Amino acid sequence: MRAGRVVIDGERATLGQRVTPGADLRVDGKPVHVDAEQRTFMLHKPRGVVTTANDERGRGSVLALLPDVPGLHTIGRLDRDSEGLLLATTDGELTLRLTHPRYGHTKTYRVWCERGTPVPEALAALRRGVALDDGPARALAARPAEDGVVIVLGEGRSHQVRRMLEVVGHRVTRLVRTHVGGLPLAGLEPGAWRELGPKDFERLGYVPQGPKPARAPRRER
């Protein structure tokens, strides 16, 4: 929605907006039937693909790795050089729940740094908060890991983890999102996906309206 990809009756949709019966709902110009069963997928995003549906430079999109489902859109983004857990759904309510700060969903990242594990003072600075060009940013948790750090955020700005670590003197060499809320990235190789089932939604604290049964994991393309 923030990217302007969702349109209702010819107008750009806003977070929290409700869709009335009979409304013309479109994502990336494609019509979405609001009475259809919602579908949600987990993808292990590989490095080198972008999250945008249409890239002006012709780079591969994550949507090419997922089933061709009308109205399917990613929940948030991972930049081209980042990897890990990415959700895609046709469920606008789920998108709102996982992107609006008032719902308190966290995202966890395993990060490798050029200079190895940050010192305790740097980790403490991340937890206290650092100044970025678009405002202060604070990690809910930042703990040491081999050659890097595990960091938990309650928001998701562009390149936020990389920028925060730059402030404390560490350039990121690899970044993998491991969790969205209580949902872990597990059992999927890079490029592979699976459809979410009831236990997955339970970990997200969300009850979808009439979800279809989860499907078996698919191999990367």
Q: What is the pLDDT of residues 72-123, one digit of tens each?
A: 999 989 999 999 999 999 998 999 999 888 888 999 999 999 999 999 999 9
Residue tagged active-site, from 79, 133, 134, 147? 79
User: Which CATH number belongs to the domain containing residue 75 in this structure?
Assistant: 3.30.70.580
The C-alpha atoms of residue 31 and residue 9 are separated, in whole angstroms, by: 11
DSSP state of 61: B
Q: Is the pLDDT of residue 16 over 80?
A: no
Residue 218 lies in a domain: no
Token pair listed for 121: 């003072």
Q: What's the predicted TM-score (pTM) here? A: 0.79
* 26, 76: one domain: yes
Query: Domain range for residue 173?
Result: 106-180
What's the total number of domains in the chain? 2
Q: Is 88 strand, coil or helix?
A: strand
Q: Domain of 123: which CATH number?
A: 3.30.70.1560
Whether 111 contacts 175, CB under 8 Å: yes
79 has catalytic annotation: yes
pLDDT higher than 80, residue 177: yes
Q: Report angle CA 5, 26, 19 to the nearest 5 degrees.
A: 105
